[in-house]
Chain A
Amino acid sequence: MKYVDEYRGKTHALALAEEIEKLCIPGKEYKIMEICGGHTHAIYKYGIEKYLPEQIKLVHGPGCPVCVIPLGRVDDAISISLGEVIFTCFGDMLRVPGNKRSLSDAKAQGSDIRVVYSPLDALDIAQKNRDKQVVFLAIGFETTAPSTAIALKQAKALGLTNFSIFCNHVTIIPPLVSILESEDSQIDAFIGPGHVAAVVGCQIFEQITARYSKPVVVSGFEPLDILQSVYMIIKQFHDDVRAVENQYSRVVPYYGNQAAIEAINSTMEVRPYFEWRGLGTIENSGLKIRDDYGEFDAENRFTIPGIKVSEPRACQCGQVLQGKIMPNECRVFGKACTPEKPIGTCMVSSEGACAAYYNYGRFQVTAGR
């Protein structure tokens, strides 16, 4: 698999590491937040930090879609699944704990819950099971929203009466603003989410650079991509510029994918408020299904308890998601909260900062960092 290994080469990594070290301003600390869970996963999986000098610290942002779903929404999903429905969701959501149990528990107790890889698979199930209501649990940032939009459009074209979507889509900019506006925020720069940018483009991050004077480099997901993005960020500081740059230009067009943006905008609209795990309620940060597609909105079709659940007091997911503490600095990390018995969502998905840290980085095997 040459096309992948090219982005994982050790020789190039060493060369980049050397360049990064040269450009670092002596004595300056750099706190760089990678927004996307995919980056977090890759950083730990490949041991990228090993190539960075001490003065660069990578902190993990709110871009793991599973991690930001609040407990109450999980309980709402479970409540829908208990009815006479076929409930479909991505595999990552199965083990996410609600207040008392997870969808995986509900499945073992009789809910008909099926893992799908796309909302279009759920649509297919609906077409084959006309006598049953089929619900899809939609989560994710602008990355996954276009496929939800397509499913809505197809459901309408097919005139389906047994398909609906429980929409939990969120958008990327509001949580970043929320983090930057929060007290004691110390983020110096962002590694931008490549997959989100493939849809919405790089230009949406210009407001971060303009308002907060923070470099944003949209990055690919291979280890050399990430290392190169760090290099580009450090170079901006060195050259004293602040800009949005596109490291992932082999996939990301600077102005995004207009067809995908149009699909989202025509089927979904911004909610005034949406609750985020650990970050609280953020204005204009969630997407809901437009009235034109209201018949496919599970929130119209079913009675949703709208459960508000306060987060477990011990859990510090919020601070982890804001980059204020490292996963291992959370008071329950690795003790009460482990991947097999997660308290917080960050410990569930492999892209969650805590799970990635627990699985790959619990200790550094060799000295050096």
Chain B
Amino acid sequence: MQNVQENSSKYSNKIITMAAGAGGKTSKALISSLILPALSNDYLEELGDGAVFSLGADKLAFTTDSFVVSPLFFPGGSIGDLAVNGTVNDLAACGARPLVISLALILEEGFWLESLERIVRSIQEAANKAGVKIVTGDTKVVERGKGDGCYINTSGIGIVNENAVSLGPSKILAEDEILITGPIGDHGTTIMLARGDLGITADISSDTASLADPIAAVMEQCGKAVHAMRDPTRGGLATVLNEMAESSKVGIEIAETDVPVRQEVRAVSELLGIDPLYIASEGRMVIFAESGYGNQILDILRTFPQCQDAALIGKAVDLHPGFVVEKTIFGGERIIDLLVGDPLPRIC
């Protein structure tokens, strides 16, 4: 049995390809062979959703994220919603209550003011819902053709809950229970369909939402049992589980039948030959909890509308450290590996 994942491979291409931004193996290779050697420090090396550091008696979480989604508007939201919720959820993943965020807009010459107004309105609404304030910002304009309408960067600061005493991928233990706060892949599927070049329509919309409240409730009521959290955005649930398995050196086992996936997402992914496990969500959180606390956390989560379909999906195990294994509906087992490159549909 091989125990070591070959994740630390070098980024060997001379140029940046799309795969370098897709969140899979190539992204990891770029970070570990270029970014980390140059900029490494204790905080960065954690490679978490955000950095946690102490300031006086308080522990703060700090994170940043850029948004380049195309199309800018899609069923269920817009780039504005993503920009707020993405950063809010990254802070929540650190066990923090989001407090303030920054907003940097990079706009392309010729971009419609009306579109910008829509985006700003969605930012306003999302910030209100998440209970955060936009406290600083920046606007840049680039020549026509040098950008794709509108890019957004947000950074955020939150206060870490005092119950977050054993939170971080390295705190994961064998037998930990694994939860997901709702069905996976809604956002990624919506975007693929919204691009319009598949000729498929389905009744589905993005799951983009703030998880600040549900996660705050979990941290408040049983935060000491929460060992790790991460939101499965780029690269989906499969990528998050692989990152967790790698940094904690445990094995992970999930059951295909327990992972919630909407019918529409399953149907579209069957048609395209894409595995829903690799499709992005923008309003979900994966939670690793101490054995025995899974159901209690589920009950807390399910009191929030965006987490009604939360589910226990598997557990951490002593076997096969570093590997994620799925028990298939067929009764077989398969490795869920990190994705290589972009999720490309098969042809036949």
Q: List A residues at the B interface (Cβ < 8 Å).
A: 1, 4-5, 8-10, 13-14, 38, 41, 44-48, 50-51, 65-66, 90-92, 94-95, 104-105, 107-109, 115-117, 121, 139-141, 143-144, 195, 223-224, 334, 338-341, 349-351, 358-366
Contact = CB atoms under 8 A, between A and B. Distances in A.
Contact of B331 (A10, A65, A140, A351): A10
A45 B327 CA distance: 10
A104 B334 contact: no
Contacts of B29: 340
B267 A1 contact: yes
A182 B319 CA distance: 42
B175 to A, nearest CB: 17
19 contacts: A1-B263, A10-B329, A13-B330, A44-B334, A47-B333, A48-B332, A51-B331, A91-B344, A92-B346, A104-B18, A104-B341, A108-B16, A117-B199, A140-B348, A338-B9, A339-B340, A349-B346, A362-B2, A363-B1
B114 interface: no
Interface residues of B, number: 43
B270 A1 contact: yes
A50 B344 contact: no
A365 B333 contact: yes
B347 A14 contact: no
Contacts of A51: 331-332
Contacts of A366: 333
Given A92-B344, A140-B347, A10 B2 contact: no
Contacts of B319: 365
B335 interface: yes
B344 A94 contact: yes
Contact of A117 (B16, B197, B270): B197
B330 A10 contact: yes
B348 A143 contact: yes
Interface of B: 1-2, 6, 9, 12-13, 15-19, 25-26, 29, 197-199, 263, 266-267, 270, 273, 319-320, 323, 325, 328-335, 337, 340-342, 344-348
A352 to B, nearest CB: 11
Q: Chain B interface secondary structure, helix, strand, loop or mixed?
A: loop
Given A46-B329, A91-B344, 13 more contacts: A10-B329, A51-B331, A51-B332, A107-B18, A108-B16, A140-B347, A144-B347, A338-B6, A340-B25, A340-B29, A358-B337, A361-B335, A364-B333
Nearest to A222: B330
A340 B345 contact: no
Contact of A1 (B15, B199, B266, B323): B266
A94 B342 CA distance: 10
Contact of A65 (B18, B330, B348): B348
Given A10-B330, A47-B328, A108-B15, A91 B345 contact: yes
B345 A117 contact: yes
Top 7 nearest A-B pairs by Cβ distance? A47-B332, A91-B344, A10-B331, A46-B330, A360-B334, A339-B340, A90-B347
Contacts of B325: 365
Nearest to B328: A46
A47 B270 contact: no
A47 B331 contact: yes
A13 B331 contact: yes
Nearest to B342: A91
Contact of B270 (A4, A14, A144): A4
Nearest to B12: A341
A47 B335 CA distance: 10
B260 to A, nearest CB: 13
A9 B345 CA distance: 25
A340 B332 contact: no
A5 B334 CA distance: 18
B348 A195 contact: yes
A334 B199 CA distance: 37
Contacts of B9: 338, 340-341
